[in-house]
Structure 1
């Protein structure tokens, strides 16, 4: 009589090969991997899964899988670097361009339950990502930003902590990099933010750089929180523009959209946000155009209101005496 299945292992993952991008796999055609079933908990859903470890090439650090295959398929990302398998970009960049709404729980509550339910939907599918709402402008943005060649520099060894403290005595024999670490926003990343696409500093840098190259650099005046849309279709209305704004900005809450002012005669509109961060997110998402009714509208930053009238100069004592 076969032994009873352990109910505590229900939903735990067993796999024969990881889901990896070309960069993490390395340039060697023959890669030797170690495999450990239930080696660690998934970095997103916290369920035990099969862990793979390998060396992608000479002089590089050993790499390992950090999330389970179910979570990787849900987002169509690599199990190690968590970058999109099709474009090689962070999930926040892809989801912003394609207007993909993230409905996965980001806290520990219900994460395992959500992952188990997703497994049934994944049967027969490689990914759950749909492109029905994606626009031509969003796809064009991803094509411009996509990395076509592997970036093996990402597999370099870590920085030697002893060298950073001035205590490494191994010299050229040290297997780690002798460089001083940089302390900036790119060095402050975590798995949850990278996977779910929330406050990812790498994604924010990529989108801001692209927006600047497309003429949508944020103005110096921090009080400007409006975007100006021109060349709108004649069928556009204030309601349809507001609906499309909400659809194309899944990461911006509706409460952050202050107002939408549509001027039908001029085929233009102002989209006013409550804070500068939401306006910058919208500018990055619409850097290749704001598509509505299958027509791309031009996007520009609004202008500062300025002062209505210049103050009069103070009269000199001689002018006062003459009067």
Structure 2
């Protein structure tokens, strides 16, 4: 009897220990679940909720945040044919000689992308921008869109930096570079189409400017002109639709003297006609060499040129 009682007692102890272990395990699971729930609750209280409608544009820009080019970090030696694009003062011109651009190869892209990222002053990237636009690619488009919108967030781009070229103007040249890219790149074209509305730039631009709302007007004007560089079939009907569009920078309300975009539409029509007549490469070469003005004179006396100029003159005389 004594031995039996000991066994019974031992069995009861084992059962009790097992029950305690189960209870402890249940408690730990509940604690982890509660902790997870509290964490999620804190996240919601911290503001992790859906962004307002206007943030769709910012979300689009964030999705275009560029990734590194394979081999970019390993590129070290600068070939001789790239030196004129990178050394001062050559790096600060957006119009390097055409013959320099024709020497570029796909193998140059990784090094050019690295040099672009390493230069914090937009004015020192100008020639590299033109070179990358010549080479093309989705990675280049993403890089340019990122720079135009998010790269300089919170920073005021001054008119001169250590005596260098206007940094803001240099950054805005990216819009023209996207015009070059839009001939073959749908993402560049789609971005520029959004850019013909000044309110798009008001949401997209995260850097500060002494120009105020005029910044959005300048970027809109450049977007309209850049679309004319593409040579795409959609441009002619797009320009026709712009005839009946409110071509005024309203980002500052109805302030007097707000920028209008009639002349920019005429410029885009001129670009488009020249591209259709001579081809994209011819246009880009003459544009790079600064020889477009002589073609403008002839175009302005064509039937289409006269019609667009008359439309612009009439619009300018109409109260806005």
Q: Determine which structure has the larger strand proportion and give its number.
A: 1
Higher relative contact order (CA 8 A, sep 6+): 1
Larger radius of gyration: 2
Q: Determine which structure has the larger helix proportion and give its number.
A: 2
TM-score band by shorter chain is under 0.3
TM-score, normalised with respect to structure 1: 0.23
